[in-house]
Amino acid sequence: MKDSYNRTINYMRISITDHCNFRCQYCMPAGIQWTPSDKLLTFEEILTVCKIAVSKGICDFKVTGGEPLVRPGCIDFLRKLKEMDGVHSVTLTTNGLLLEQVAEELAKIKIDSVNISVDSLVEEQFDKLTGTKGNLPKILSAIDCLQRYNIKTKVNAVLLRETVDQMIPLALLAKDREIDVKFIEIMPVGLGRKTEGIPAKEALTILQKRWSDLHIAKEVKGNGPAIYYRSKELQGSIGLIHAVSNPFCEDCNRIRMTSQGILKPCLCYEAGINLREILRSGAGEEKISVAFDNAMTQKPEAHCFSHIEDMTEQRGMSEIGG
């Protein structure tokens, strides 16, 4: 699909739940109220939306949340999405806690890649950041398990001021593994507004000090805006996402759907189209198709993370889908 700025939109990020088994301090506010299940789209409804998305040329899907693996039936849904005619890729973003037990099934359905979020390799700090206890070894074991099943793996880490000394240890996960480690600037979404991050430029300087031969990798990877770097000392690559400091909006290729079925043209603005209402009103698929067209016209030229007073999105990342 083309939006009104002539950008091709071919990638959709779908949040299948706002529930989570972690309480990351920059993502889940204390005392969060979960969305009642009847307000979440059913998997069948999500698949209907995906089928229409595919007919419009959106063929790459990221499944996220909340934590997607806490929703019963997630793997079956991923399988159906993978098998859908016209779908080009299906990827998953997870905190990794429940990953090892489903890795074999993910390999069987030929998931295109899995992103695991890890912000620190120091157990105490990991516990504090995720609001849980003793889970880091399970996450690291899940990363290795994905390697055994030959599943393409990416590690996501948010660039937090408090974890700046974790950048090199995290990047070293790519030393002997063919995985990508991606560092992402914290965005002023939800509690992200109250969290101190570091700019990707500062992160690059830290990485270059450690690997003097670090250079931009030529290959294009995934559907996202990361710039990838390689060093001959690392088997995998290091990605940097300048989400705030150097917006990549002119190349934006994405649309989102929240767990409640709001089709959302941009992370920064509240505007969106309620597909759940359309689906449950008994209206035909044609109406959903028109909703996609309307979302394209609503897609703004750029986000406004650098002047957050203009942001209208008040929802948190777990509800929208990070």
Q: Which residues bind ligand SAM (CB under 6 A)?
A: 20, 26-27, 64-65, 67, 93-95, 117, 156, 158, 184, 186-187, 189, 192, 317-318, 322
22 near ligand SF4, judged by CB under 6 A: yes
Token pair for 206: 């830290």
Count of residues interacting with ligand SF4 (CB under 6 A): 12
Nearest to ligand SAM of 74, 288 (CB atom): 74
Nearest to ligand SAM of 52, 159 (CB atom): 159
66 near ligand SF4, judged by CB under 6 A: yes
Selected binder of ligand SF4 within 67, 112, 180, 185 (CB under 6 A): 67
Distance CA 264, CA 189 (A): 14
Residue 157 near residue 166 (C-beta atoms within 8 A): yes
Stretch of 16-24, 143-151, 184-192, 265-273 lying at the interface with ligand SF4 (CB under 6 A): 16-24
CB-based contacts of 113, cutoff 8 Å, min separation 6: 89, 91, 92, 151, 152, 153, 154, 222
Question: Rounded to the nearest whole angstrom, what is the least distance from the CB of residue 153 to ligand SAM in the complex?
Answer: 13
Nearest to ligand SF4 of 231, 260 (CB atom): 260
24 near ligand SF4, judged by CB under 6 A: yes
Distance CA 200, CA 73 (A): 37
> Pick from ligand SAM, ligand SF4, none: which does 261 bind, CB < 5 to 8 A by kind?
none
Question: Rounded to the nearest whole angstrom, what is the least distance from the CB of residue 213 to ligand SAM in the complex?
Answer: 28
Nearest to ligand SF4 of 117, 120 (CB atom): 117
Nearest to ligand SAM of 171, 279 (CB atom): 171
For the chain, how many residues are written?
322
Selected binder of ligand SF4 within 27, 151, 159, 173 (CB under 6 A): 27
**DSSP label of 178:** S
Stretch of 5-13, 65-73, 79-87, 278-286 lying at the interface with ligand SF4 (CB under 6 A): 65-73
Distance CA 145, CA 160 (A): 27
Nearest to ligand SAM of 290, 302 (CB atom): 302
Residue 244 near residue 297 (C-beta atoms within 8 A): no
Residue 205 near residue 167 (C-beta atoms within 8 A): no
Q: Which of residues 194-253 bind ligand SF4 (CB under 6 A)?
A: none
CB-based contacts of 142, cutoff 8 Å, min separation 6: 96, 97, 99, 100, 103, 116
> Pick from ligand SF4, ligand SAM, none: which does 28 bind, CB < 5 to 8 A by kind?
ligand SF4
The side-by-side arrangement of strands in the sheet containing 215-216 is 215-216, 227-230, 237-241, 180-185, 153-159, 113-117, 89-94, 60-64, 11-15, 254-257, 262-264, 273-274
> Pick from ligand SF4, ligand SAM, none: which does 296 bind, CB < 5 to 8 A by kind?
none
Distance CA 26, CA 186 (A): 9
Q: Which of residues 112-141 bind ligand SF4 (CB under 6 A)?
A: 117
Distance of CA 143 to the CA centre of its chain: 17
17 near ligand SF4, judged by CB under 6 A: no
Token pair for 233: 């000392």
Q: What residues make contact with ligand SF4 under the rule CB under 6 A?
A: 20, 22-24, 27-28, 65-67, 95, 117, 318
